[in-house]
Amino acid sequence: MCGITGFWAPDTIIAPNAAVQMAQRIVSRGPDDSGVWFDKSLGLALAHRRLSIIDLTPAGHQPMRSPCGRYVLVYNGEIYNHQDLRKELEQEGGAFAWKGHSDTETLLAALRHWGIQGALERLNGMFAFALWDAVDRTLYLARDRMGEKPLYYGRSGDVFLFGSELKALTAHPDCQGEVDRNALALYLRHNCVPSPWSIYKGIYKLPPAHFVTIREGGKNIGTPVCYWNLGQIAEQGASKADGDARQMIDELDSLLRDAIGQRMMADVPLGAFLSGGYDSTTVAALMQTQSDRPIKTFSIGFHDADFNEAQHARAVAEHLGTDHTELYVTPEETMAVIPKLPVIYDEPFADSSQIPTFLVSQLARQQVTVALSGDGGDELFCGYNRYAMGYQIWNKLRYLPRPLRQMLSTVLNHAPGHTLDAIQHRLPNRFKVSNLADRLPKLADVLSYQDGQSFYRRLISHFKTPDDIVPGATEPDTILCWPERLPKLSGLREQMMYLDQMTYLPDDILTKVDRASMAVSLEARVPLLDHRLVEFAWRVPTKFKYRNGQGKWLLRQVLYRYVPRELMERPKQGFGVPIEHWLRGPLRDWAEELLDEHRLREEGFFNPAPIRTMWKEHVTGKRRWHYYLWDILMFQQWLNTVSSSL
């Protein structure tokens, strides 16, 4: 795992030291080694920071130049099937004079032999890379299928820039770093800036499963090319979804074993995040079955029972026999992370589980350099509550007359949060719904919609009309606005899962995991997103994903082969922190300063009036606006941190 960056500026006089400064900004992504390749005649620089995982020798040093001298590569990630690729290359291309056993050398050889498209189609891994072709005078940028590794690129002034994180780009002396108000509007809707936009004008995220060509000194930026089309995979897989349940359980078990086994490849210590939920427990269980010693597992505990899963993780660890480490953190320790968030996440980002994700990464890094994560199971196997409750309510209520739905919406929208919480605590576990007080207002807001796609977009939105909050903004359309471009799937539930795999998963979940882990120089691997598992999941009938009122049915059946059912069955719990209460308590002064009406008006990014109304209603307990307010606060904190470079 590493960090990459670089620039192409043939018409300006820039020393190679600029590339060193850019790479230094992302030193946490690669503290073990660094390198710069610079061609003064071209004004082209490629820079690299290395976190040594496979082949710790200098044979894995980057930038790496091909033996023929035509290609130069900087690369971030892991190619899990690189040994198989070496064998295939040797069979097709004859003898290779390998200098070491790094996957970087394998990737470079694959790109030389098969070309960019042919190599990408063969890779099983997480990656982002830049490849310079000196003969064609072309720079290629590419990103992995599901978007596990980030890659930003674009022009700022007369310079083309790219890098793993925005902070590397802004270190370049010619980077202008002007906030894109349209992207800010998208951020308020999604609590992150979705691909292909970034918070800065002219700078973009390369979408997952795409590569792009850059020519003519960085002035000619091609249209990104998709090399693995998730829409086609979903449509073709779903159209043929059928099969025997027992056979599919066996196939999923085998695929999981192989995907997890491949991700245990490392020349450094490794372990796993363990929350005690189905996904992380599956990963830990199948790691333990393939290890001849107790694997290391890590979990974070909170003293607030509503947010604590540590006891469940401990019970799972005891059953599996892992070498388990847990850390209970105080509210003060948790809140101490907040000032670090703008640097860690590098772009406005407001998923509050960013805090515990960083804490568990920090805990794991004390003992290991690689940690496997269970992310992706919800999106692949129908695990989120919205796939159940939201879908069912839509199906039942969409036929009601509009006036009746509007009346019901009003009732739900004004149900006092504290009353709902009190009711929840009195219910038996089987009737409890996680975060009911936050879910009901969301459902209330979408009852007036007539089609499923509009319903879902509204359901997952934070600010519903962000253009009203950001003066001068015009919110760009995303895939959520184009139902005609969606693959042909059998129903709304399948469309929800597809849309989340295209948007929420790479833009929120994987961004959160990458930035939190890389901030402490920890490599996080996500075996459930092996592309073979993704393709398999779309061939699984929905009846084997959502069954008897439960999501992830098929995944559960695999897990029950390794962990007793009674150890796992409990209400789903999110990985969050009590932001709602903190904003009324210990974070109130901090929030008040950032949300000061005069400050908001002077900075000019937000319309103060609706924000101040939300803040007053939240503080007094009239309404629960913490998710919306956290979006604003994370932007304000980010702006406060980076203002010197804007």
Summarised one tens digit per residue, pLDDT across range 447-470 is: 666 677 888 888 899 999 999 999
**Given 2, 175, 192, 382, which residue is catalytic?**
2
Contact 6, 44 (CB under 8 A): yes
pTM for this entry = 0.92
Binding residues for L-glutamine: 103
User: Is a pLDDT exceeding 80 seen at residue 304?
Assistant: no
pLDDT of residue 541: 95
How high is the mean pLDDT of the chain?
A: 90
Beta strands in 488-557 (DSSP E): 523-525
Mean pLDDT of 264-272: 93
pLDDT higher than threshold 70 for residue 16: yes
What pLDDT shows up at residue 364? 97
* pLDDT score for 323: 97
Backbone angles phi, psi at 520, to 5 degrees: -115, 20
Between vectors from CA 513 to CA 507 and to CA 514, what angle results, nearest 5°? Answer: 80
pLDDT of 184 higher than 70:
yes
Q: Give yes or no for residue 423 having a pLDDT over 70.
A: no
pLDDT value, residue 97: 81
Query: Per residue in 189-214, pLDDT tens?
Result: 999 999 999 999 999 999 999 999 99
Q: Residue 157: pLDDT band by 50, 70, 90 thresholds? A: confident
pLDDT at 459: 86
Q: What is the pLDDT of residue 431?
A: 46
Say which residue the tokens 């009239």 belong to: 622
Closest CA to 538 of 483, 488, 469: 488
CA dihedral 559→561→563→569, nearest 10 degrees, is 60
**Is-catalytic flag, 175?**
no
Residues of the chain with CATH 3.40.50.620: 236-381+504-568
CATH superfamily, with its number, for domain 236-381+504-568: HUPs (3.40.50.620)
Q: Does domain 2-228 have CATH number 3.60.20.10?
A: yes
17-29 mean pLDDT? 95
Per-residue b or e along 466-485, where b marks 16 or more CB atoms closer than 10 Å to that residue's CB: bbebbeebebeebbbeeeee
DSSP, res 80: T
The boundaries of every CATH 3.60.20.10 domain in the chain are: 2-228
d(C-alpha 116, C-alpha 626), whole Å = 45
What tokens does 458 get?
């509204």
**Measured distance CA(556)–CA(540) in Å, rounded:** 14
Tokens 């999106």 -> residue: 379
Q: What pLDDT score does 436 carry?
A: 52
Tell which residue, 57, 62, 54, 47, has the closest CA to residue 78: 54
Q: What is the per-residue pLDDT across 351-361, written as a single tens digit (0 to 9) for each? A: 999 999 999 99
Do the bridges between strand 370-372 and strand 523-525 make them parallel or antiparallel, or are there none, so unpaired? Answer: parallel
Residue type, 183: A
Q: How far apart are the first and last CA of the chain?
A: 29
Q: Which of 344-353, 403-412, 589-598 has the lowest mean pLDDT?
A: 403-412
What pLDDT shows up at residue 599? Answer: 97
Predicted confidence band of residue 631 (pLDDT cuts 50, 70, 90): very high
CA gap 200, 174 in Å, rounded:
14
Q: Is the dihedral of CA 443, 447, 449, 451 positive or negative?
A: positive
**What is the rounded average pLDDT of the residues 328-342?**
91
Which DSSP string corresponds to 311-380? HHHHHHHHHHT-EEEEEEE-HHHHHTTGGGHHHHH-S----TTHHHHHHHHHHHHTT-SEEE--TTHHHH
pLDDT surpasses 50 at 118: yes
How many CA atoms are closer than 13 Å to the CA of 309, on its beta-carbon side? 25
Q: Which residues are annotated as a binding site?
A: 103, 300, 373-374
pLDDT interval class at 487 (50, 70, 90): very high
- Higher-pLDDT residue of 72 and 414 is 72
Tokens of 627: 């998710």
